[in-house]
Amino acid sequence: MAPWRRLSSGRLTWLQFQWIVISFVVLLSLANRSSGYFYSESNEQASDDRFCFCQLQGTIDDCSCNVDTVDYYNNVKIYPRLKSLLVKDFFRYYKVHLNKDCPFWVDDSKCAMRFCHVEHCEEKDIPPGLKGDASSYHKYIKEVQTLTNCNEDLDVELGYLNTSISDKAHKEFQRWADYDEAQDNFCILDDHEPGAEYVDLLLNPERYTGYRGESARRIWSSIYLENCFQAHSVKKKNAYSAMIPYQDMARNEVCLEHRVFYRMISGLHSSINIHLCANYLLSEKSSFGFVAPAGVWGPNMEEFERRFSPHMTDNEGSHWLRNLYFAYLVEMRALAKAAPYLRNEEYFTGLEKDDREVKTAVKDLLTVIEGFPAHFNETAMFSGGTSSLKLKHEFREKFMNISKIMDCVGCDKCRLWGKLQVQGMGTALKILFSGKFDDKIETGLGTRLKQPAPPLRLKRGEIVALFNAFGRLSTSIHELEEFRQRMR
């Protein structure tokens, strides 16, 4: 009997049913050969547009290395070292002034979320060396271990020290020294001011606290509109509309110094946004329905897409992510340039064993950083004579202004991390462009050794901010890879 013949009852035989199923599969297979997938090619393209925007490739603009190189070097070599280093006491306690008034506008808006609050550490938890108790330190410094008897060959007359200089004169001398040193700074240092206090960074991780609205928008609007070089000619209402379109920079319509300034700020902005998406407040309640005192935190894919996807950012999101890599390379170059200086630091907390471990870990990290194949080349900047000096001064003033804007952030925890990361980036710029860490200079007759200059000493707060800021950028690149894995 032919397989398609029906029985008198009107029902299909088992053989007929199998034949129909096989025919359907064959037809479906033929259809799929022409289209390639079970869904149309247009649907595939739409899916790719949505999910591949963070899969960056190729060369990083204004640098000589690829995204893949940075991903591997950071995620395999640098990020694990930083993760273990930054939990040490020297780097986890950061002294900062969080109660300064906003110098640009009157703003009483404060984040009402309980997660905006900064948990201050107790006095007993602060390492003794950070509180000025250097007694334990003096037990193991080289100078003390090699001291001889101070009374030997003592000559009272020759040893007489005239201490008649008044306290007022000493204060004036210190003011002069502070002023000279401040000329190399790219950001405000307020850890010496009354009201500054130590904060334990491990107790206050950078997260999305719920701080948003007009106050938050005004911060980034001020940074982009008032401090980016092109903003003075065009006043725009939207903070993000002041971002330089990628095509303008790709066509070299923006000079190198302006591009570097913008890309560093954009990279910092992207890094902060990644942290907020990776550590998002998913719920204030636990899985059992009870209020969780610490909240429930985790990655938010929708928020990440909202901040970086092409259709939400006018196709600029992937370029903003690329700027993260640029900022990372700039700060890495600063660490490499200052490596000889940083190796000689004591990283003193008053706890001998911990200090020795930190110093060893820092040396190991710096060796890895120095081994990176292609650092950012800062010598290409500010090399145009008198005009370049003016441009460097403007560059410095604008970044200094951004550090002041951090005192206008209405969320205490956001202000803490904003100040730390801006100060870290400012310290990197200080290392790169102050000239104090240069061992060579370029002249019209070639390269020669630089004349000895007054040594540049980094304060503890600058070193803590420099390493933590680089750690934040490193973490962002690591978290970006995790977002890619989730999207896949």
Q: Is 387 exposed, middle or buried (0-12, 13-18, 19+ CB in 10 A)?
A: exposed
State how far the Cα of 45 lies from the Cα of 47, in Å rounded to an integer.
5
**Which pair of structure tokens corresponds to residue 453?**
């200059």
State how far the Cα of 340 lies from the Cα of 165, in Å rounded to an integer.
36
State how far the Cα of 65 lies from the Cα of 333, in Å rounded to an integer.
13
E-strand ranges in 140-279 read: 197-200
Closest to 62 in 3D by CA, of 266, 232, 239, 233: 266
5 is an annotated ligand-binding site residue: no
Q: What is the 3-state secondary structure (H, E, C) of 309-348?
A: CHHHHCCCHHHHHHHHHHHHHHHHHHHHHCHHHHHCCCCC
Q: Which residue has the tokens 């108790």?
A: 133
307 is an annotated ligand-binding site residue: yes
266 is an annotated ligand-binding site residue: yes
In the annotation, is 150 catalytic? no
207 is an annotated ligand-binding site residue: yes
State how far the Cα of 73 lies from the Cα of 376, in Å rounded to an integer.
15
Contacts of 207 (CB under 8 A, 6+ apart): 115, 275, 276, 279, 280, 281, 297, 413
Q: Which residue has the tokens 């006018």?
A: 314
Measured at the alpha carbon of residue 211, what is the angle toward residues 207 and 216, in degrees to the nearest 5? 120
In the annotation, is 411 catalytic? yes
269 is an annotated ligand-binding site residue: yes
Catalytic residue from among 54, 116, 228, 414: 414
**Which pair of structure tokens corresponds to residue 134?**
């250097």
State how far the Cα of 95 lies from the Cα of 461, in Å rounded to an integer.
7
Contacts of 399 (CB under 8 A, 6+ apart): 186, 187, 227, 261, 425, 426, 429
Catalytic residue from among 63, 121, 277, 411: 411
297 is an annotated ligand-binding site residue: no
Q: Which residue has the tokens 């700074």?
A: 185
Binding residues for FAD: 207, 209, 220, 266, 269, 307
Active site residues: 411, 414
Binding residues: 207, 209, 220, 266, 269, 307
